[in-house]
Structure 1
Amino acid sequence: MHAEGTIPVENARLSSAATRDESGKEVFIRARGVTVRFGAKTILENLDLDVRRGEIMGFVGPSGTGKSVLLRTILGLNQKQAGTIEVFGVDYENANDRDRLAVERRWGVLFQHGALFSSLTVLENIQVPMREYLRLSPKLMDELARLKIDLVGLAQDAADKYPSELSGGMIKRAALARALSLDPDIVFLDEPTSGLDPIGAADFDELIMTLRDTLGLSVYMVTHDLDSLFQACDRIAVLGDRKVLVEGPLSTMLEYDHPWVKSYFHGKRARTVVHNGKSVVQSKPNGAG
């Protein structure tokens, strides 16, 4: 028996199929040997990656290394030429329609620049996933959408505004509310703090960490924001040379001997702080010289 107003899916079976890594932690996303090409150009080649339950995983790398390509490939928006990607233990690309639906209902996506529908209000934008995947009354959808608006820290009067009436920070929060529309287990964030001032970016990072802690969210975050990597991310993956060069906590990034990684985490836009009793490099605030 399924709850009234929902499309039956097999979330329980998908959850039980989820894999675990060597440490015994549950893995929500498991990529092995992934290769993606556009024409003759290879963007990703033989890439391996694990994203664990309940963590904020940050993805960084030089422009053009395939960070957004990998995100879109995991979501099934790009076709891969080799390898496997399992989400919640399911090979999404080769899954049947029922299992695909079950996977899609467990993720939310905040695309770069928000990608809100310009002809819809904030309330209507948040309801788009509800209309696609659920069977709910208009009144219940209104109530749920307003809960999401409150959850991301927007004022309730934002509900009836159109994207053109919102500031950059409000657009990000409205897009996040839409990503949270179906109460997902994992959210994908593509450059969530780009274009925000330092205070707005820091507030957004705090919001993501709060949602992770209170809702048990897993977060897949593509970012160039050093502050987000230092403050919000539990682990970081660096993409380069068409693969994951290194992944791990901040301490691993600071010790990794690779020219780009050293330049990025120890470069001019960094300052020294004490981390675990040692003097290490930490990012300056966005926009600092």
Structure 2
Amino acid sequence: MAVEQADAIIRVRDVTVRFGATEVLDKLDLDVKRGEILGFVGPSGAGKSVLTRTIIGLVPKVSGQIEVFGVDLDAANAKERRAVERRWGILFQQGALFSSLTVAQNIQFPVREYLKLSQRLLDEITIAKLGMVGLAPEVADRFPSELSGGMIKRVALARALALDPELVFLDEPTSGLDPIGAGDFDELVRTLQRTLGLTVFMVTHDLDSLHTACDRIAVLGDGKIIAAGTMAEMKASQHPWLRSYFHGKRARAVVGSNTGVV
């Protein structure tokens, strides 16, 4: 069910995306509520990351409307669009750090794009953002090749937070991390969401993340949103894919670990 317009940071209506003859998204509708962490799930190849890229403008849509912060992105002029983009941050799959830049330069990249600040202020922002994601100041001088997988994700998150956004897109943020690292990252995202008042759109396949970090879940199937609601509502659904996903062997193991059942 659609939320009130004033409560929706993102409103997607009748969005269709095709690659050649293949229709990936078919008149899709979705709302992301202000201040929530929305987990976006679905089968592999269903188009979860495609929707993220469509919202932020990296993938063109055939039809439909996308509003972010109440602004119709198709109707917005360049200045209006840039003002909206200034209010969001993005963590791409695998971090997508620039390999030839240091950690500090990666974090400062979006700041340089939008603001004219002294190097001293840029360096202060870098240290502050590293601290927010649990990394020491000395990490700033390292290159991505010198970082572990978990550190890369945290640096990418620091870059996403560099401009103090209200909205953050996370594309498979725990992919490739070991269970402990993934759990720590989920807790970090939850803590930042609460302390900074963020709205988070999280593409994920990680059941642990859905249980521990997300307020609400939206499920993509056959190009549309086939269900949206709380974890309890997902578990109560009789839809075949939802029952397989949320009641399968892996789901039972996750539920058991979260409740202390062995």
| TM-score, normalised by the number of residues in structure 1 | 0.86
Once the two structures are TM-superposed, the CA of residue 270 in structure 1 deviates from its matched residue by: 2.5
User: Which amino acid in the other structure matches residue 255 of structure 2?
Assistant: Q
Within-5 A mapping of 1:1-289: 21-22=3-4, 26-271=7-252, 282=255
* Alignment coverage as a number of residue pairs: 258
Structure having greater relative contact order (Cα 8 Å, sep ≥ 6): 2
Residue pair 1:265, 1:282 contacting (<8 A) in 2 also: no
Residue pair 1:226, 1:283 contacting (<8 A) in 2 also: no
Once the two structures are TM-superposed, the CA of residue 64 in structure 1 deviates from its matched residue by: 1.0
Once the two structures are TM-superposed, the CA of residue 94 in structure 1 deviates from its matched residue by: 2.7
Q: 2-side partners of 1:88 and 1:283: how far apart? A: 39
In structure 2, runs of 5+ residues without a counterpart are none
Could you list the per-position Cα deviations for residues 211-250 of structure 1 after superposition, in whole angstroms to 9, with x for gaps in the alignment? 0110000100000100000110000000001100000110
Once the two structures are TM-superposed, the CA of residue 199 in structure 1 deviates from its matched residue by: 0.7
User: Which amino acid in the other structure matches residue 15 of structure 2?
Assistant: V
Residue pair 1:21, 1:27 contacting (<8 A) in 2 also: yes
Q: 1:109 to 1:283 in 2, by over 3 A?
A: farther
User: Which amino acid in the other structure matches residue 40 of structure 1?
Assistant: A
- Tell me the secondary structure at the aligned position of residue 149 of structure 1: helix
Could you list the per-position Cα deviations for residues 151-185 of structure 1 after superposition, in whole angstroms to 9, with x for gaps in the alignment? 00011111100000000000000000000000000
Q: CA RMSD in A?
A: 1.6
Which structure carries more helix by proportion? 2
Taking only the aligned residue pairs, the percentage that are identical comes to 67
Q: 1-side partners of 2:220 and 2:256: how far apart? A: 19
Once the two structures are TM-superposed, the CA of residue 283 in structure 1 deviates from its matched residue by: 6.6
Residue pair 1:130, 1:182 contacting (<8 A) in 2 also: yes
Q: 2-side partners of 1:93 and 1:117: how far apart? A: 29
- Tell me the secondary structure at the aligned position of residue 94 of structure 1: coil
Once the two structures are TM-superposed, the CA of residue 25 in structure 1 deviates from its matched residue by: 5.7
In structure 1, runs of 5+ residues without a counterpart are 1-19, 273-280
4+ runs of 1 displaced by more than 4 Å? none
